[in-house]
Structure 1
Amino acid sequence: MRTGHLLGFRIRQQVLDWSGAWWFLLTLVVQAVVAPLIGLFVWSAVYPDDPGIARYYVAIIPVTLMTESFEQHTFSERIYDGTLSHELLRPQPVVIGVLGENLAIRAWLTLLGAPIVLLTGISLQAGFDWRSVLQSVPCVALAAVLVFLWTFLLSTTAFWTDRVHAVVGFGSQLIFLFGGTAAPIDLLPDLWRRIAQASPFYGMNGLPAEIAAGTPYDGSLTAALGYQLFWVVVLIVVVSAVWRAGVRRYTAVGS
């Protein structure tokens, strides 16, 4: 209960803090939607008679906006400038502050990006079944968890290297290539499609977008959620281990 109150307070605080930087948030929105829009134009030109392509990419835009993470900036920089020491001394988990800022930024991106989604969907006449959209909600939520865990995991490399932005950038490219933004997973060559579907990246973008567009994963929503939950558990275990090792190194060097 106390953790929930702390997280809620942090989210409200960060929402207010970021309200004065709407111009910067708009640049983040543009940055987030460029890749899906390029994919939309490219694959719509290749398959002009397939309405599923338009629905898929219109769906992947809000998924991207609602799952974006920037822990290489909001967390790693605290390691570099030493302010993480203050966070470690507080009687609350460090992740509360990181997660609160993450959710606040996502809320702003979703709000500011909504007109782009609506205009794109209307202009392309991408009709959605409301039942499919509702079914995609838990998958989007798990996708947001996956992206946060993945980005936070890569951001913890700041304990060992000063090139964390390059590390996170490489991780983002993996999401772009195997997550379904560069191309819908079904359009990849068979080998690469199998690799993508076995990786956590598919569950971060392409899977919830496919479900929203009306093409459930493996014919089953339960299978989709099970696949995502599996990778959530795996990443939580890995993040926990890396976090403990990183904090030990940080405090040892700091002392």
Structure 2
Amino acid sequence: MRRILRLTALRVRRQFLDWSGTWWFTITLVANESLVPLAGLFVWSAVFPGDPRVVSYFAALIAVQIMTASYENHTFSETVYQGTVSHELLRPQPVVIGPIGENLAIRLWMTLFGLPPAVLAGFLLGATYRPADLLLALPALAGAAVLRFLYTWILALTAFWTERVHAVVTFGGMLMALLGGAVAPVSLLPGPWRTVAQALPFHAMLGLPADIATGAVTGPAAVAALGRGLAWIAAFTVLAAVVWRSGARRYTVVGA
């Protein structure tokens, strides 16, 4: 385990340095991740004018989007299409270390560029949070980061079977936005729909940290939501391992 952690840290450092010269592209990624929450902010502010909870929720959601962004359909799937994943398969280490390292490096840069403007925008728009809620939102944010990586990684692994992996990941992203709280806060959905949305993994990937930060989900409900997120992380970890083994086996059998 110590060796895995050391290799991951080295990969993060290397990718962090590699991305240091692409600050302009990082800003583009930050802007792209902010578009849907900003659209939701404008729409729901019109529906509930003067409601500070709407501003606080979407300001928090922008931060969550930026800090949990995953792009494995670009950083990993392209190595499958180009055949360079063969080099990773020959290394005496898990292949997933590379995607994890690049994922963390990209998120670090996006946080550095995107979080300060998000915090400033929330302050100017009147977003308010209680310190206790923000602290409770931190484990939800960590869980969302892990879950969103696993989700995107699983979708990116479809590159072993199809050349349309970007369409697959885009569709998966649309599901996450629709059911995860980016288009409409899950806490504002009608009772039955809210129950379904909270049970699915998408809320834990995106809206849950923002809901907890704004106090929309507190106490036992927050603990239960965090538990559901951990359960989905465990399920996605197993699924990712199964899909990876199947995809790698297919890749090597066809002689790529």
Q: Normalising by structure 1, what TM-score?
A: 0.97
Stretch of structure 1 that moved more, 110-119 or 150-159: 110-119
What are structure 1's unaligned runs of at least 5 residues? none
Q: How does 1:26-37 map to 2 (within 5 A)?
A: 26-37=27-38
Q: Does 1:61 align with 2:62?
A: yes
* Aligned position for 2:177: 176
Distance 1:97 1:118 in 2: 31
Once the 2 structures are TM-superposed, how far is the Cα of residue 196 of structure 1 from its aligned partner?
1.2
- Paired positions, count: 255
Question: 1: CA distance between counterparts of 2:218 and 2:199?
Answer: 12
2:107 matched residue in structure 1: 106
* Matching residue's letter, 2:51: D
5+ residue gaps in structure 2? none
CA distance in 2, matches of 1:217, 1:106: 27
Report the CA distance between 1:218 and its aligned residue: 7.1
Residues 173 and 99 of structure 1: is their aligned pair in 2 closer, same or farther, counting only changes over 3 Å? same
Q: State the one-letter code of the partner of 1:70.
A: Y
Pairwise CA distance, 1:228: 0.3
Provide closer, same or farther for how the CA distance between residues 162 and 218 of structure 1 changes in structure 2, counting only shifts above 3 A.
farther
Look up the equivalent residue of 1:187 and give its one-letter code: L
Opposite residue 5 of structure 2, the aligned amino acid is G
Equivalence for 1:50: 51
Q: Distance in 2 between matches of 1:219 and 1:180?
A: 20
Equivalent-residue separation in structure 2 for 1:49 and 1:101 (angstroms): 41
Structure 1 residue 13 and structure 2 residue 14: aligned? yes
Q: Equivalents in 1 of 2:139, 2:115: separation in Å? A: 19
Shift of 1:17: 0.3
1:45 deviation in Å? 1.1
Q: Equivalent residues in 2 for 1:80-229 (5 A)?
A: 80-216=81-217, 219-229=220-230
Aligned partners of 1:217 and 1:223 also within 8 Å: no
CA-atom RMSD in angstroms: 1.2
Contact 1:218 1:224 in 2 (8 A): no
Q: How far 1:124 sits from its partner (Å)?
A: 1.1
Aligned to 1:243: 244
Whether the 8 Å CA contact 2:133–2:213 is kept in 1: the answer is yes
Q: For residues 110-150 of structure 1, what are the alpha-carbon distances to aligned partners after superposition, in whole Å with 9 as ceiling and x for unaligned?
A: 11002321221121111111111111111100000110000
2:147 maps to amino acid: L
Counterpart of 2:42 in structure 1: which amino acid?
F
Question: Within 5 A, what are the aligned runs for 1:60-79?
Answer: 60-79=61-80
